[in-house]
């Protein structure tokens, strides 16, 4: 059967042969046992409803084994045999160009070179799922291959509820991931309802089909490291010879060494998982791997002396590195952590003192003991970090809930007022005030032709547009513009593509709209034959309400509300997005954040031009309006600028209060 026939077939009517468990592939850890006997039966009943009754006796047994072995039913037997990657758009079957573009994006998220646990349909972050099981994948692809330009596919946490009649300007797909009744959004609720097969954790770009490999994050990480460097730099200094210590070589964290190299420092990144370390080494995302702490110290000292730009992976626990460098008096200039603490009890964080294998076994079989070990390790890590910061290290939380979980573990991490943390998050200090408040965020695009020469053309177009805009940009955003132009100029040389032909470029509303318009025109003129997909990370100006991350620099109390993300996705959907998604938990964890995003297909048409202008303008300025109302200086400036550019925009501006008036009133 051809690839196209397999897609059109959906869930096969005859059982495909069983799959052999391949231990060369990086697999998701076993999830903890959480269901009662009755609930396990319910999980099986839920799984079997995808299949004809005649297969139930075979599958019931098989799925019960999967539930026992992995804590989830992935339906491994139904994993397709064809290669999983973003094919050129014309290779997808179907009647609708937009739907084919979405298939391209879905397959990229599951590409073995891209996805963290491809067999478990996890793209990144340990639990960031595209679908819960292979039946859901097959069904969604089948619907996409059937849909017309006046239908919308409705997807609840990976499950295709069906195709519904809509209209040509409506989104082709509406995705919700992990949306829960608020009282059912604790960590164990995810374990339970995910095991039942009724919800999933979509992270940000996993369940919304917008992941573009680690490149997506390299740019943001480069901006963060560069600006962190600027914060600690004495006049005229750059990052040469300075040491950045952090952890994680996973989906997003793996971008740190590359970003460190681009920013020009020495990066040491600890990673406990040998397979992941090997992958990053083979991809050239790290320069060297060291497995011995003493050797690491020697190597770092040498790199400091010669001001080498180098990235070193330490295969082991990050806690050991913080402690060792303190003992050896090696000065750490910048410090962070990117273990997956949004997912602390199921493989996101490996405690110091026990082996990787032992930890995997313990989290599944002795979850309470494992939790104690994680918390003990976090307390130890905090003690070591505190010793470094006392010597002058600038430490920031990388939005992975490190400070949050360390505080919950009782670590010495709270500020004197008992409310705030001792250390800022990267959004509080860097990303929020320097980027998001001015409308800059992780805009991206994908060439659905899968042709690298198209990507090269788009890079050139984007660079020209930014250079033109920069000529008249106000001084407040000149540095941003310069950094982004430098990024796009170096993008080809830095060989950032893993998976689809995609590019990330931080841009504000004006930049995004003008670049998108220029792309649409290029497609119209036939410079590129196939459509371009636009999108962004949820981690942006408007897409995400997350009190410890994206909205951590909102100080009017509204950082604990989620109106902005919900408004954003609703607004995007009726202004022309091709698909929209809204998720619970992306980045910092289930129940901690509401985040959403969009995808938009540019096919060179006049309709696409109208849609991009209307939707991108809203998509950025919704967040600007909210950040401005929270009295953020940069956002007030940007809101006023946006109103000048678009007379139909009327944003409510805040009146600022003289703080002395508030003293002694209560
Ligand atoms: N890069 C960014 O811009 C960014 C932004 C916001 C949040 N984050 C957060 O960063 C975290 C990491 O994301 P990811 O996609 O890389 O996740 P991931 O799970 O793919 O990678 C984390 C890695 O940390 C390793 N690890 C865990 N405990 C360790 C320890 N004690 N010592 C050394 N290594 C350890 C794991 O083996 C894993 O490979 C997530 O919580 C994510 O939400 C990243």
The predicted pLDDT at position 467 comes to 98
Atom of ligand 1 at shortest distance to CA of 318?
A: 32
DSSP H or E segment with residue 575? none
Q: With pLDDT > 70 as the criterion, what percentage of the chain qualifies?
A: 100
Say yes or no to pLDDT of 214 above 90: no
Residue 201 CB less than 6 A away from ligand 1: no
Q: Are strands 151-156 and 128-129 parallel, antiparallel or unpaired?
A: unpaired
Nearest to 506 by CA among 89, 175, 227: 227
Q: Report pLDDT digits (tens) over 301-316.
A: 999 999 999 999 999 9
271 Cα to the center of ligand 1, angstroms = 9
248 Cα: distance to centroid of ligand 1 (angstroms): 5
- Does residue 226's CB lie within 6 angstroms of at least one atom of ligand 1? no
SS (H, E, C) 122-161: EEECCCEECCCCHHHHHHHHHHHHHCCCCEEEEEECCEEE
Does residue 251 register a pLDDT over 90? Answer: no
**Torsion sign, CA atoms 562, 507, 581, 81:** negative
247: left (phi over 0), alpha (psi -120 to 50) or beta: beta
Question: Could you tell me if 149 and 167 are in contact, meaning their C-beta atoms sit under 8 angstroms apart?
Answer: no
Give the residue whose CA is nearest to atom 6 of ligand 1.
Answer: 399
Amino acid 636: pLDDT? 98
- Pairing mode of beta strands 243-247, 266-271: parallel
- Contact residues for 176 (Cβ-Cβ < 8 A; gap 6+): 155, 156, 157, 581, 582, 583
* One-character DSSP codes across 161-217: EEEEE--TTS-SEEEEES---GGG-SHHHHHHHHHTTS----TTTTTTT----THHH
Answer for the pair 157, 26: CB distance below 8 angstroms, yes or no: no
Adjacent-strand bridge partners of 595: 544, 583
Instruction: Give the per-residue pLDDT at 635.
Output: 98
- Alpha carbon 484 to its chain's center: 20
From residue 330, how far is each of 136, 180, 615, 617 by CA, in Å? 51, 47, 50, 48
Q: Whose CA is nearest to atom 1 of ligand 1?
A: 252
For residue 264, how far is its CA from the centre of ligand 1 (angstroms)? 22
> Does the pLDDT of residue 325 top 90, yes or no?
yes
Residue 5 is predicted with a pLDDT of 98
Residue 283 confidence (pLDDT): 85
Q: What is the pLDDT of residue 403?
A: 95
If one counts every other C-beta atom within 10 angstroms of the C-beta of residue 149, the result is: 15
Residue 398 CB–ligand 1 contact under 6 Å: yes
pLDDT at 477: 95
Q: Is the CB of 499 under 6 A from ligand 1?
A: no
Among 208-222, 282-296, 455-469, name the one with the lowest average pLDDT.
208-222
In this predicted structure, the answer to whether residue 587 has a pLDDT above a threshold of 90 is: no
Residue 658 CA to ligand 1 centre (angstroms): 42
Reported as a pLDDT band with limits 50, 70 and 90, residue 184 is very high
Mean pLDDT, range 379-406, rounded to an integer:
96
**Residue 105 pLDDT > 90:** yes
CB burial string 344-380: b at 16+ within 10 A, e below:
bbbbbbbbbebebeebbebbbeebeebbebbbbbbbb
pLDDT at 408 over 90: yes
Q: What is the mean pLDDT of the chain?
A: 96
For the sheet with 310-315, list strands across it: 288-290, 310-315, 266-271, 243-247, 334-335, 394-395
Alpha-carbon gap, residue 353 to 321, rounded angstroms: 13
- Once rounded to an integer, what is the mean pLDDT over residues 350-378? 96
Least confident of 2-16, 187-201, 417-431, 454-468: 417-431
- Residue closest via CA to ligand 1's atom 20 equals 250
Q: Best mutation site among 251, 340, 356, 441 for ligand 1, i.e. most ligand atoms within 8 A of its Cβ?
A: 340
Q: Is the CB of 248 under 6 A from ligand 1?
A: yes
Q: How far is the CA of 641 from the centre of ligand 1 (A)?
A: 37
Tell how far the Cα of 340 is from the centroid of ligand 1, in angstroms: 4
Those residues whose C-beta lies under 8 Å from the C-beta of residue 620, and which sit 6 or more positions away, are 439, 441, 508, 509, 512, 541, 542
**Alpha carbon of 246 to ligand 1 centroid (Å):** 10
- The tens digit of pLDDT for each residue in 563-584 reads 999 999 999 999 999 999 999 9
Q: How far apart are CA 214 and CA 564, in angstroms?
A: 27
Q: What is the pLDDT of residues 12-30, one digit of tens each?
A: 999 999 999 999 999 999 9
**Would strands 394-395 and 334-335 be described as parallel, antiparallel, or unpaired?**
parallel
276 lines ligand 1 (CB under 6 A): yes
CA separation, residue 351 to residues 66, 290, 348, 377, 558 (Å): 27, 20, 10, 5, 34
Least confident among 235-239, 504-508, 595-599: 235-239
What is the band of 410 on the pLDDT scale with cuts at 50, 70, 90? very high
Ligand 1, atom 31: closest residue by C-alpha: 350
Indicate whether residue 29 lines ligand 1 (CB < 6 A): no
Please check whether residue 449 is in contact with residue 544, taking contact to mean a CB–CB distance below 8 angstroms. no
CA distances (Å), origin 125, targets 394, 506, 585? 25, 22, 11
Flag whether pLDDT at 210 surpasses 90. yes
Q: What is the pLDDT of residue 441?
A: 96
pLDDT computed for residue 495 by the predictor: 83
* Cβ(257) – ligand 1 distance below 6 Å: no
Pocket lining: 587 vs ligand 1, CB cutoff 6 Å: yes
* Residue 559 confidence (pLDDT): 96
Is pLDDT of 252 > 90?
Answer: no
Q: Mean of the pLDDT values across residues 309-331?
A: 98
Q: Nearest Cα to 109, choosing from 251, 279, 281?
A: 251
Asked if residue 264 has pLDDT above 90, the reply is yes
> How much is the pLDDT for 386?
98
Q: Separation of 657 CA from ligand 1 center, angstroms?
A: 41
| Alpha-carbon gap, residue 92 to 99, rounded angstroms | 9
| Binding site membership of 621 for ligand 1 (Cβ less than 6 Å) | no
User: Cα(41) to centroid of ligand 1, in Å?
Assistant: 34
Q: Which residue among 250, 318, 401, 404 is best mutated to probe the pocket of ligand 1, counting the most ligand atoms within 8 A of its Cβ?
A: 250
Closest CA to ligand 1's atom 25: 248
Is the minimum distance from the CB of 318 to ligand 1 under 6 angstroms?
Answer: yes
pLDDT of residue 585: 94
The residues, any chain, with a CB within 8 Å of residue 645's CB and separated by 6 or more, are: 510
DSSP 553: T
Q: What is the pLDDT of residues 604-655, one digit of tens each?
A: 999 999 999 999 999 999 999 999 999 999 999 999 999 999 999 999 999 9
Rg (CA), the chain: 24
Q: In the chain, what is the straight-line distance between the N-terminal and C-terminal CA atoms, in Å?
A: 76
- Could you identify the atom of ligand 1 that is nearest to the CA of residue 254? 16
Please indicate whether residue 221, judged by its CB atom, sits closer than 6 Å to ligand 1. Answer: yes
Ligand 1 centroid to residue 332 C-alpha, Å: 20
Over residues 25-42, the mean pLDDT reads 95
With CA atoms as reference, report the closest residue to 100 among 166, 13, 3. Answer: 3
384 lines ligand 1 (CB under 6 A): no
Instruction: Identify the band that residue 121 occupies on the pLDDT scale cut at 50, 70 and 90.
Output: very high
* Binding site membership of 580 for ligand 1 (Cβ less than 6 Å): no
In tens, the pLDDT along 129-179 reads 999 999 999 999 999 999 999 999 999 999 999 999 999 999 999 999 999
Ligand 1 closest atom vs CA 587: 43
């Amino acid at each position: 059967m051809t690839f196209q026939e397999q897609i059109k077939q959906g869930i096969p009517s005859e059982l495909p042969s069983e799959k052999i468990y391949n231990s060369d592939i990086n697999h998701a850890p076993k999830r903890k046992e959480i269901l009662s006997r009755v609930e396990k039966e319910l999980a099986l009943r839920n799984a079997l409803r995808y299949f004809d009754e005649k297969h139930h006796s075979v599958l019931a047994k098989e799925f019960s084994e999967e539930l026992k072995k992995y804590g989830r039913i992935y339906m491994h037997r139904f994993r397709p045999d064809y290669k999983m990657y973003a094919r050129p758009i014309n290779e997808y079957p179907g009647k609708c160009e937009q739907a084919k573009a979405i298939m391209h994006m879905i397959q990229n998220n599951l590409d073995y070179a891209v996805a963290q646990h491809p067999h478990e349909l996890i793209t990144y972050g340990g639990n960031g799922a595209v679908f819960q099981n292979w039946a859901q994948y097959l069904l969604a692809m089948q619907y996409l291959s059937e849909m017309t330009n006046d239908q919308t596919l409705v997807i609840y946490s990976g499950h295709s509820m069906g195709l519904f009649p809509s209209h040509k300007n409506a989104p082709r797909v509406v995705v919700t991931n992990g949306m829960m009744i608020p009282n059912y959004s604790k960590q164990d609720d995810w374990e339970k309802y995910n095991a039942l097969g009724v919800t999933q954790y979509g992270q940000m770009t996993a369940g919304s089909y917008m992941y573009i490999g680690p490149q997506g994050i390299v740019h943001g990480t480069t901006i963060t490291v560069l600006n962190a460097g600027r914060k600690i730099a004495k006049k005229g200094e750059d990052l040469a010879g300075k040491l950045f210590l952090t952890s994680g070589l996973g989906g997003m964290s793996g971008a740190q060494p590359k970003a460190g190299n681009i920013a020009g420092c020495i990066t040491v990144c600890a990673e406990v998982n040998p397979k992941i370390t090997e992958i990053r080494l083979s991809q050239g995302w790290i320069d060297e791997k060291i497995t011995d702490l003493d050797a690491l110290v020697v190597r770092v000292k040498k790199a400091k002396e010669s001001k080498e730009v180098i990235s070193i992976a330490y295969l082991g626990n990050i806690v050991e590195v913080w402690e060792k460098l303190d003992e050896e008096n090696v000065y750490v200039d910048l410090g962070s952590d990117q273990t997956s603490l949004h997912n602390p009890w199921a493989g996101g964080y490996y405690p110091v003192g026990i082996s990787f294998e032992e930890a995997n076994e313990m989290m599944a079989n002795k979850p309470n003991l494992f939790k104690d070990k994680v918390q003990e390790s976090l307390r130890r890590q905090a003690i070591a970090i505190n010793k470094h910061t006392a010597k002058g290290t600038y430490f920031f939380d990388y939005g992975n809930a490190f400070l949050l979980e360390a505080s919950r573990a009782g670590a010495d991490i709270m500020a004197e007022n008992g409310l705030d943390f001792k250390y800022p998050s990267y959004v509080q200090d860097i990303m929020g005030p320097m980027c998001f408040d001015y409308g800059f965020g992780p805009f991206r695009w994908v060439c659905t032709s899968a042709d690298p020469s198209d990507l090269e053309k788009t890079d050139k177009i984007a660079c020209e547009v930014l250079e033109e805009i920069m000529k008249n940009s106000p001084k407040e955003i000149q540095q941003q513009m310069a950094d982004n132009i430098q990024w796009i100029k170096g993008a080809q040389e830095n060989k950032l593509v893993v998976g689809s032909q995609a590019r990330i470029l931080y841009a504000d509303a004006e930049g995004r709209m003008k670049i998108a318009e220029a792309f649409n025109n290029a497609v119209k003129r036939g410079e590129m034959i196939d459509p371009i997909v636009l999108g962004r990370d949820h981690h942006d100006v408007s897409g995400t309400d997350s009190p410890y991350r994206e909205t951590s620099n909102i100080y009017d109390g509204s950082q604990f509300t989620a109106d902005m993300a919900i408004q954003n996705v609703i607004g995007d959907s009726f202004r022309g997005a091709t698909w929209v998604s809204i998720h619970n938990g992306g980045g910092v964890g289930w129940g901690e954040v509401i985040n959403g995003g969009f995808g938009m297909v540019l096919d060179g048409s006049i309709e696409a031009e109208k849609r991009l202008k209307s939707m991108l303008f809203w998509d950025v300025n919704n967040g600007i309006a909210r950040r401005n109302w929270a009295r953020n200086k940069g956002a007030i400036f940007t809101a006023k600028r946006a109103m000048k550019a678009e007379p139909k925009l009327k944003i409510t501006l805040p009146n600022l209060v003289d703080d002395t008036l508030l003293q002694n009133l209560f």
